[in-house]
């Protein structure tokens, strides 16, 4: 339970990008990416518990590092393609 926020943080960051997207297309693309991150975590969890041993769960410490890298790449690609945060996002 202590590591749950660390595991969930990349998906929560992408959820913020979905909420901040000014267009439906941008929100949809970030939502698909968020779904992919959740599936990646579920697939990794299944692999650890179905085929791994007790030390395989150490991978949970490193999985979010890879996911944060993917989040950063997706964010930079979105910025390069002209994505900007909605002006009223921070006012809520």
Q: Is 90 domain-assigned?
A: no
pLDDT digits (tens, 9 = 90+) for 38-77: 898 888 888 777 877 767 777 778 888 888 999 999 888 8
Q: Is the dihedral of CA 47, 50, 51, 57 positive or negative?
A: positive
CB half-sphere exposure, 83, CA atoms < 13 A = 21
Question: Is this prediction's pTM over 0.85?
Answer: no
Domain count for the chain: 1
d(CA 38, CA 20): 19
Q: Which three-class secondary structure state does DSSP give residue 19?
A: helix
Q: What range does the domain containing 45 cover?
A: 4-83
Q: Is the dihedral of CA 14, 16, 18, 23 positive or negative?
A: negative
Q: Is 16 domain-assigned?
A: yes
Q: Is 53 domain-assigned?
A: yes
Mean pLDDT, residues 76-82 taken together: 84
């Amino acid at each position: 339970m202590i590591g749950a926020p660390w595991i969930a943080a990349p998906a929560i960051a992408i959820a913020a990008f979905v909420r901040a997207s000014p267009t439906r297309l941008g929100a949809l693309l970030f939502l698909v990416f968020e779904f992919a991150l959740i599936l990646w975590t579920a697939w990794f969890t299944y692999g650890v518990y179905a085929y791994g041993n007790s030390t395989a769960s150490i991978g949970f410490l490193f999985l979010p590092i890879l996911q944060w890298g993917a989040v950063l790449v997706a964010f930079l690609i979105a910025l390069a393609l002209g994505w900007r945060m909605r002006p009223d996002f921070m006012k809520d």
